[in-house]
Structure 1
Amino acid sequence: MSFISWIIVGAIAGWLASIMSGDNAKMGALANIVVGIIGAFVGGFILRFVGGSGVTGLNLRSIMVATFGAFIFLFVLNKLRK
């Protein structure tokens, strides 16, 4: 997957995860991209661990995997902040 694809998937996934976690008002576009890219790694790692495939390209499945990972990342981050 190209660098641009990672940014696009990261932006979409980070934005969706920030909406689901209620952090959207606190986060900017760059934070959404970073959270989404970290989420892609987290989601991909978890899915590969249980036998699936992670982020494979610029497609809906990859966005869903990255969003899942980004949501988990934000959840843990919010718990650590408290």
Structure 2
Amino acid sequence: MGFIGWIIVGIVAGFIAEKVTKSDHGLITNLIVGLIGAFVGGFIADRFGISFVNNALVDTTIIATLGAILVLFIYQKVRS
């Protein structure tokens, strides 16, 4: 997946995580959270031996979204 693909995945993952965690962020923050979530989700999936082979874009978006939700959850707990 190219640079533009990662940007799209980051924005989508950040947006979904924002809605799930009932946060309120802008586009750039969603992108950053989504990209960090992709790294976190990918790291955790790799540690547990989870791999998807069907559709790379959808699979990556799912992993990135779960990672972004985890990042926002931890951020909210630390901040409060």
When the two structures are superposed, what TM-score results if normalisation uses the length of structure 2?
Answer: 0.90
Aligned-pair identity (%): 44
Q: Does 1:65 align with 2:68?
A: no
Mark the runs of 5 or more structure 1 residues left unpaired by the alignment: none
Moved over 6 A (4+): none
Matches within 5 A, 1:1-82: 1-23=1-23, 26-53=24-51, 59-82=57-80
* Count of matched residue positions in the alignment of Structure 1 and Structure 2: 78
Distance (Å, rounded) in 2 between the aligned partners of 1:76 and 1:11: 19
How big is the shift at 1:59? 1.2
How big is the shift at 1:52? 1.9
Deviations 1:29-63 (A, max 9, x none): 00000000000000000000011238xx8611111
Three-state SS of the structure 2 residue aligned to 1:59 is: helix
Mark the runs of 5 or more structure 2 residues left unpaired by the alignment: none
How big is the shift at 1:78? 0.3
- RMSD over aligned Cα atoms: 1.5
Distance (Å, rounded) in 2 between the aligned partners of 1:28 and 1:15: 9
